[in-house]
Amino acid sequence: MNHFQRRNGELCAEEISLERLARAYGTPLYVYSSATLRRHWKVLDRSLTGLRHLVCYAAKANANLAVLDLLARLGAGFDIVSGGELYRVLQAGGAPRKVVYSGVGKTDEEIAFALSQGVKCLNVESGPELGRISVVARRLGVRAPISLRVNPDVDPRTHPYIATGLKTSKFGVSVEDARRLYTVAAGDPAIDVRGVACHIGSQITTVVPFLDAIARVRALVRDLGRSGVRLRHIDIGGGLGIQYSDENPPHPDEYGAAVKRAMKGWSGEVILEPGRVLVGNAGVLLTRVLFLKRSGRKRFAVVDAGMNDLVRPSLYDAHHDIELVGGEARPEGTIDVVGPVCESSDFLARGRRMAVPEAGDLLCVRSAGAYGFSMSSSYNARPRAAEVLVDGDVARLVRKRETWPDLVRGERARPAGRRFPAPRRIG
C-alpha cells in the first residue's frame, strides 16, 4: 500500500499532483511520501510485536537527511556501511547507540569515528578487520562492541549481484571461522563481544531463505553458549523484497510472524536491517519526455532522466513500472524508455508495452525510493536530481537540484603544483 494514487485521473503524491510538483521543482525529480514511509515503518514494527527488537534502517537504500530524520523520529536505529553514512545519520539526529556498522572494508579512520561516537555495534566481516578494530579501540582507550557477520551459506534466490550470504561471497565469515574468531574476540580486552549478524541478500521474495539463515545462526549461538561465549543480540539483516511488477513477496506480517517463530526461545534482542521494504515504494522518479524517436523498427521515448539518475534497470535489468502522470488517452505500443546518457545501457525500460507518451508528457517511474537517488551519479556531467518529501498537501524540497557549478566544486583547471622528490635508491 502506498500513497501514490490517482485523483480525478491525475497521479498524485498524497494530496499533491505530481504534474504540479514537476512544474514547481523541475525534472528529473525524486518524490517521497511521508505517509507511505510512516505506514511501512508501522506495519513492519508492528509485525514484530512481542519480540524484543530494534529495527535498524539500512541507510544505503535512501540516505536523504529528511528520510533519516522521519525514521529516527519513529524510533528507528540505523544500519550503516561507511563513515559518511554515520555522518548523515548524526546530521539527521539519529542516535549512535542505535547504529550498527556493517561492511567489509572499514578504514581505521571510520572505525575510530564509529567508536568515538559510541555506536551500538560493529559488524565484523573478517579476522584482519577484527585485528584493526582491536588496535584502534586500544588507541582510543575504549572497548569496541562487536558482532561477527557470519555467512550462513544460503541461496536467497535473487539477482546474483545482490546475493550476499553465499560461501563464495566477499561478505562475512564462514560459521567455522566464526567459532575461532569468537574465541579470539572473547579473549581480547579491547573487544566487547555483543552479538552475531548475518545478511543474506536483497529483494528476497520468500521467507524460506531467511528461516534457513536464522536456523544456522541460532545453531552457532547455541554452540558458542556451550563454550562460554554469551551473546546479547542476533542481527538478522535486511533483504525483504517488495513488489516492482508481478513479484509476490511476503507481507511484513508474514515475515514478522516467521521471524518470531524462528526466534522462539531466544531471550536476547533481535536486530533487523531493512532498507528497500521501508522506502522502495515510498518514492517515485518523475521524468519528462523530450522526444519520440524511431530507429528501424524500434520506438524510443527519450526522457530527461538517465542511468545516472536511476541505475537499477541498467545494472540489474530491474523492472520499474512507468506510467503517464496525466490522464491523457494515448495508444498502447511497445517502446524503450531511454535517457540522454551516452551509453547503450542507458534505459529505464526496454521493450515495454505501455501507453506511448508524446513529447512533453510527464512519466512516473515507480518504486524508486530505494537505491534510486542513493546510487545516482553525475556521469556525463549531469547534475543530480532534486528530492521532494510530501506530507499531505505540503511538499518540502529536501535536496536541491545540483547545478553546473556544483559539478566542478573542488576542481581546479590549473592548480599550483607540488613537487615530490624522486625516491632514493637504497643499497
Strand order of the β-sheet with 4-7 is 4-7, 10-13, 16-17
Closest Cα partner for 211 from 250, 267, 170? Answer: 250
Binding of residue 104 to ligand LLP (CB under 6 A)? no
Which CB, 125 or 188, lies closer to ligand LLP?
125
Within residues 268-327, the interface with ligand LLP by CB under 6 A covers 273-277, 312, 316
CB of 65 to ligand LLP, least distance (A): 19
Q: x/- binding map, residues 323-362, to ligand LLP, per CB under 6 A?
A: ----------------------------------------
CB of 253 to ligand LLP, least distance (A): 17
Exposed / middle / buried, residue 408 (Cβ in 10 Å: 0-12, 13-18, 19+): exposed
Could you tell me where the DSSP H helices lie in 34-82? 34-47, 65-74
What are 397's strand-pairing partners? 388
Q: Are 348 and 312 in contact (CB under 8 A)?
A: no
Whether 342 sits among the annotated catalytic residues: the reply is: yes
Q: Are 369 and 9 in contact (CB under 8 A)?
A: no
Cell matching residue 368: 524508486
- Helix axis angle, 252-262 to 34-47, nearest 10°: 30
Binding of residue 44 to ligand LLP (CB under 6 A)? no
CB of 379 to ligand LLP, least distance (A): 16
Which CB, 246 or 332, lies closer to ligand LLP?
246
Point out which span in 23-31, 176-184, 238-246, 395-403 binds ligand LLP (CB under 6 A).
238-246
3-state SS, residue 217:
helix
Q: Are 17 and 390 in contact (CB under 8 A)?
A: no
- Helix axis angle, 34-47 to 65-74, nearest 10°: 40
CB of 276 to ligand LLP, least distance (A): 4
Which CB, 199 or 288, lies closer to ligand LLP?
199
Cell matching residue 116: 568515538
Q: x/- binding map, residues 363-402, to ligand LLP, per CB under 6 A?
A: -------xx---x---------------------------
Which CB, 21 or 37, lies closer to ligand LLP?
37
Which CB, 221 or 278, lies closer to ligand LLP?
278
Among 2, 27, 34, 102, binds ligand LLP (CB under 6 A): 102
Within residues 196-215, the interface with ligand LLP by CB under 6 A covers 199, 202-203
Share in percent of the chain as helix, strand, coil (round to 5): 30, 25, 40
Among 55, 58, 146, 301, binds ligand LLP (CB under 6 A): 58
CB of 13 to ligand LLP, least distance (A): 21
What are 391's strand-pairing partners? 394
- Count other Cβ atoms within 10 Å, centred on residue 227: 10
Residue type, 46: R
Which CB, 22 or 365, lies closer to ligand LLP?
365
Among 35, 162, 166, 190, binds ligand LLP (CB under 6 A): 162
Active-site annotation holder among 56, 121, 198, 342: 342
Binding of residue 61 to ligand LLP (CB under 6 A)? yes
Among 96, 156, 239, 249, binds ligand LLP (CB under 6 A): 239
Which CB, 120 or 199, lies closer to ligand LLP?
199
Closest Cα partner for 67 from 23, 34, 31, 25? Answer: 34
Size of the site for ligand LLP (CB under 6 A): 23
Phi, psi of 49 (to 5 degrees): -50, 135
Which CB, 172 or 357, lies closer to ligand LLP?
172
Q: At a CB cut-off of 8 Å and minimum separation 6, what does 23 contact? A: none
Among 83, 165, 237, 369, binds ligand LLP (CB under 6 A): 237
3-state SS, residue 359:
coil
Instruction: Quote the strand ranges of 198-315, DSSP E.
Output: 233-235, 269-272, 283-295, 298-303
Residues with catalytic function: 342
Task: List contacts with ligand LLP (CB under 6 A).
Answer: 58, 61, 79, 102, 162, 164, 199, 202-203, 237-240, 273-277, 312, 316, 370-371, 375
